Amino acid sequence: MVLTYFLASIELERDNAEGFLLVLGSSNLDESLRGYFTKYDCSSADINPIGSFSKFRLKEILSYFYKMHKFEVIEEVLEATPTAELRPLQDG
């Protein structure tokens, strides 16, 4: 979280711009309801556009956008194996 806010602030400095940038979160409804988050992770943000969607609904939305636009990165997300990321991956 500290790093994301730092990067948002130096982005303005780089361009000599005034104002502020918002940090977007990526925590979903299932994580919030279960308390499956830490204090300074993806739930710490200015706004959270997917915060009211369950994982199932998010996959439906991603599937729809993939069918409409065929972005490869969306397909990679849909086919990714779910992981809690609490330990290092087998391949390092």
Averaged pLDDT of the chain: 85
What total of structural domains would you count in the chain? Answer: 2
Which whole number is the average pLDDT over 35-50?
Answer: 82
Which among 22, 25, 57 is positioned nearest to 38, based on CA atoms?
25
The model's pTM? 0.67
What's the CA gap between 36 and 16, in Å, rounded? 38
20 and 45 share one domain: yes
Which pair of tokens denotes residue 76? 């990679």
71 within domain boundaries: yes
Is 63 a residue whose pLDDT tops 90?
yes
Domain that holds residue 76: 54-84
pLDDT, position 54: 92
4 and 37 share one domain: yes
44 and 64 share one domain: no
43 and 66 share one domain: no
Is 92 a residue whose pLDDT tops 60?
no
For CA atoms 56, 2, 34, 47, give the dihedral sign: negative
**pLDDT confidence bin for 76, thresholds 50/70/90:** very high
pLDDT, position 26: 84
